[in-house]
Amino acid sequence: MHRHPLSSAPRYAAALFAALLLPVAAFAQGSYPAKPVQIIVSWAAGGSIDTMARGFARAMSQELGQSVVVENRDGASGMIGTAATVSAPPDGYVLNFGPITPITNALHLMSKPAYGVDSLEYVCQVFENRFAIAVPQNSPYKTLQDLYAAIQASPGKLSYGHLGVGSITHLSLETAIQGRNFSVTGVPYRGETPMFLDLQTARLDFGIVTVGNTLATSRPVRILAVISDRRHPEMPDVPTLKELGLPSLQPALVGLMAPKGTPAPVLAKLEGACKKAVETDVMQSAVKMLRDEIVYKDRKAFTASVMRDYEEKGTLVKRLAIPPQN
């Protein structure tokens, strides 16, 4: 039977389509990255997160065999840079490095957020940004018990600094004092540096500070307790809230994220590179400079931690009845 030439068109079209897909599949699985990779940091240049990100970028460049460039897009408590990452093409060439607070904290504070907890792929955790309760060096409070006794004796009179309503510093203290019927005056700051200045000069009675940043810059304050369930290696004599019988929030988890829909082979390559990067001398030097430590988690463990933190922060924000910010 004679077959019309056009009757084979569907088969030819399918073969052509498959042939066109072969380079794409090969690219995703084998040749990524074929060009420089951009890492968005949702925080200002020069800070501890930026310093860690640049060390991480250098280490990742070694592992990926391509330039990895850091771009700072700070503002709105990290939400501007996070939103830029979410809207980027999901091809592995635009990533985000930093704390997960623009997701686990900020989303509960916005009435119309630009993204959700499921808008990103959580590639790997690199370290934990731990916080502490600190007082001025000349403060009469030598222990956390001293500070709590003063708060109880003078309701509403003591002031403390934090990084904004709903921030991890604010929620950490609220968690630590819950159920104790304490009243303190919170003073929000847009950054840690101005808060430190007021803490050093005793304009504040105490503050919630970043442990690594405090140690790395030799800030003259007295740390009373670490907000964690384990002691900080640089301050082995300082107790944790857990040791003192007080509840504490999970530290701010810091890691690498990608837009939702990034191909699985690309995510796998990034995860593998991340695991090797945290062990490099470049990354270890960056951590040492910040007087901190690596706390690595793979993609599965990091994702689980993010989701758990998101649920916990949502419960806490509801309990505190914090109104939406927009």
- Three-state SS for 175? helix
pLDDT of residue 302: 98
Q: Which of these, 7, 200, 203, 171, lies nearest to 101 by C-alpha position?
A: 171
pLDDT of residue 217: 66
Q: How confident is the model at residue 129 (pLDDT cuts 50, 70, 90)?
A: confident
* Residues 35/93, Cβ–Cβ less than 8 Å: yes
Q: Could you give phi then psi for residue 223, rounded to 5 degrees?
A: -90, 125
Positive or negative, the CA dihedral 195, 198, 202, 204 is negative
The mean pLDDT value for 107-126 works out to: 95
pLDDT of residue 287: 85
Q: How confident is the model at residue 24 (pLDDT cuts 50, 70, 90)?
A: very low
Q: Which of these, 301, 35, 64, 315, lies nearest to 175 by C-alpha position?
A: 315
pLDDT of residue 216: 61
Residue 244 has pLDDT above 50, yes or no: yes
Residue 4 has pLDDT above 60, yes or no: no
pLDDT of residue 25: 41
Residue 29 has pLDDT above 80, yes or no: no
The mean pLDDT value for 62-79 works out to: 93
Cα–Cα distance, 326 to 113 (Å, whole number): 9
Lowest-confidence pick of 9-13, 91-95, 187-191 = 9-13
Positive or negative, the CA dihedral 206, 211, 212, 217 is positive
Residue 309 has pLDDT above 70, yes or no: yes
Q: How confident is the model at residue 20 (pLDDT cuts 50, 70, 90)?
A: very low
- The answer to pTM > 0.85 is no
pLDDT of residue 22: 42
Residue 326 has pLDDT above 70, yes or no: no
CA distance readout (Å), 165 to 77, 174, 244, 270: 11, 11, 25, 34
The mean pLDDT value for 28-55 works out to: 87
pLDDT of residue 148: 94
**Chain segment 183-242, per-residue pLDDT in tens:** 999 999 878 888 989 999 999 999 999 888 777 666 689 999 999 888 988 889 999 999
* Average pLDDT, rounded, for the chain: 87
Residue 151 has pLDDT above 60, yes or no: yes
Lowest-confidence pick of 82-91, 306-315, 317-326 = 317-326
Domains defined for the chain, CATH in brackets: 31-128+251-320 (3.40.190.150), 131-227 (3.40.190.10)
Q: State what percent of residues in the chain have pLDDT above 70.
A: 89
